[in-house]
């Protein structure tokens, strides 16, 4: 296995949906790198392309959608072009996904212990029943489920919403993945439970050196959880850097707007709805910077061409008139 610190390296990812009006890029040139053990927050408003990015990385885009270009290297190996069975061998083993709705992961008619056993057995058919049971019990305990051994015999509906999401997280962690892609897994939960789960996920990732991409619309969550942040707007990453630097000193007017729309800095549960105007829809994208109609700093150039990526130190952004970089 590779020991390079870079676990996931995504370059120029483009994912299109083919519609009657033609191909439309929901993800338009995304570059990301995630190091081992690092947590990346992928943040943006509804429709910005966060989930499509996550699904694209896992090879889970179905027609009329299609990953049309770019490279997704995991442990140095290109995932684009792998056969479905090769991707399936990776998913749930080296790469795991957690969804907003735990019922996307959990089968309502199977006991939790049976589903967990299946998740191990699929990838490791030689593990004994006793060991499987021990690993499942341990995994439920790790995510804070009381009396884990007896809970293995419960069905998903016998858990509360928060506990059910913990079960889905336990399944994701079962085979000690190197990368977890978590798509708003705590958004539907109340704020206290969300905070507990964030804390536990962060701890588990640190202990096991697991990398994670945490998709959210909530910059408060990013501030609490992540090391790096990628701010997404209209299918592109508009600002990217360490959480520390980006949140202390955003250079993209959209990032600044997101921060100002939070009720209190770093408050979990903060929504990002207060930037003037609407996120562009399928029909409203055109030439120039997609954020232009809502941007307080827009100038002549913004109507003429979409900004390319500018790198300054470890910070990257797409803006013709960025705020000053102080760090």
Which residues lie near Mg ion (CB under 5 A)?
A: 51
Angle between helices 161-173 and 112-123 (to 10 degrees): 20
Picked from Mg ion, ligand ATP, none, the partner binding residue 217 (CB below 5 to 8 A depending on kind) is ligand ATP
Stretch that binds ligand ATP, among 48-56, 143-151, 203-211, 307-315 (CB under 6 A): 48-56
Residues 243-282 contacting ligand ATP, CB under 6 A: 282
Q: Which of 8, 9, 43, 50 binds ligand ATP (CB under 6 A)?
A: 50
217 touching ligand ATP, by CB under 6 A: yes
Q: How far is the CB of 318 from ligand ATP (least distance, A)?
A: 17
What residues are paired with 22 via a beta bridge? 19
Residues in the chain: 327
- Residue placing its CB nearer to Mg ion in the complex, 16 or 140: 16
- Residue placing its CB nearer to ligand ATP in the complex, 52 or 152: 52
Q: Which of 11, 17, 110, 124 binds ligand ATP (CB under 6 A)?
A: 17
Token pair in block for residue 21: 């009006």
Token pair in block for residue 97: 């996904």
Stretch that binds ligand ATP, among 42-50, 123-131, 151-159, 295-303 (CB under 6 A): 42-50
Token pair in block for residue 112: 């939790």
What number of chain residues touch ligand ATP (CB under 6 A)?
14
Q: Which of 7, 26, 181, 205 binds ligand ATP (CB under 6 A)?
A: 26
C-alpha to C-alpha distance for 317 and 77, rounded to whole angstroms: 27
C-alpha to C-alpha distance for 309 and 275, rounded to whole angstroms: 23
Stretch that binds ligand ATP, among 4-12, 39-47, 70-78, 148-156 (CB under 6 A): 39-47
Nearest to 22 by CA among 57, 58, 68: 68
Q: Which of 46, 160, 284, 304 binds ligand ATP (CB under 6 A)?
A: 46
> 83 φ, ψ to 5°?
-75, 155
C-alpha to C-alpha distance for 320 and 112, rounded to whole angstroms: 52
Stretch that binds ligand ATP, among 4-12, 50-58, 140-148, 163-171 (CB under 6 A): 50-58
The beta strand positions in the chain, using DSSP E, are 6-19, 22-35, 39-43, 65-74, 77-78, 95-98, 179-183, 211-216, 228-233, 236-242, 310-312, 315-317
Binding track, positions 63-82, relative to ligand ATP; x by CB under 6 A: -xx-----------------
Yes or no: say if 237 and 204 are a contact pair by the CB < 8 Å rule. no
Question: 3-state DSSP call for residue 241?
Answer: strand
Q: How far is the CB of 233 from Mg ion (least distance, A)?
A: 14
Q: How far is the CB of 61 from ligand ATP (least distance, A)?
A: 8
- Residue placing its CB nearer to ligand ATP in the complex, 148 or 290: 290
Q: How far is the CB of 52 from Mg ion (least distance, A)?
A: 8
C-alpha to C-alpha distance for 138 and 246, rounded to whole angstroms: 37
Residues that bind ligand ATP (CB under 6 A): 17, 26, 44, 46-52, 64-65, 217, 282
């Amino acid at each position: 296995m590779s020991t390079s610190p870079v676990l996931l390296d995504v370059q120029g990812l483009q994912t299109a949906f083919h519609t009657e009006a033609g191909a439309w890029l929901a993800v338009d040139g995304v570059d990301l790198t995630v190091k081992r053990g690092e947590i990346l927050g992928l943040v943006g408003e509804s429709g910005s392309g966060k989930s499509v990015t996550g699904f694209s990385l896992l090879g889970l885009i179905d027609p009329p959608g299609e990953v049309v270009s770019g490279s997704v290297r995991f442990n140095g190996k290109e995932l684009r072009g792998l056969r479905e069975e090769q991707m399936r061998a990776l998913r749930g083993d080296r790469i795991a996904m957690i969804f907003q709705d735990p019922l996307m992961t959990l089968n309502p008619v199977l006991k939790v212990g049976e589903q967990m056993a299946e998740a191990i057995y699929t990838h490791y058919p030689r593990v004994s029943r006793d060991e499987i049971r021990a690993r499942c019990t341990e995994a439920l305990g790790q995510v804070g489920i009381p009396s884990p051994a007896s809970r293995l015999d419960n069905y998903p509906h016998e858990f509360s919403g928060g506990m059910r999401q913990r079960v889905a997280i336990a399944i994701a962690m079962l085979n000690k993945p190197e990368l977890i892609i978590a798509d708003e897994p705590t958004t539907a939960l109340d704020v206290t439970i969300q905070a507990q789960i964030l804390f536990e996920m962060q701890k588990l990732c640190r202990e096991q050196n697991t990398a994670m991409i945490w998709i959210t619309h909530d910059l408060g969550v990013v501030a609490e959880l992540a090391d790096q942040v990628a701010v997404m707007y209209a299918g592109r990453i508009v600002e990217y850097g360490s959480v520390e630097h980006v949140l202390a000193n955003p250079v993209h007017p959209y990032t600044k707007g997101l921060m100002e729309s939070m009720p209190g800095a770093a408050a979990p549960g903060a929504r990002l709805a207060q930037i003037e105007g609407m996120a562009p829809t399928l029909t409203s994208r055109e030439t120039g910077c997609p954020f232009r109609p809502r941007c307080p700093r827009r100038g002549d150039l913004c109507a003429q061409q979409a900004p390319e990526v500018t790198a300054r130190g470890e910070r990257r952004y797409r803006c013709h008139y960025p705020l000053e970089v102080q760090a």
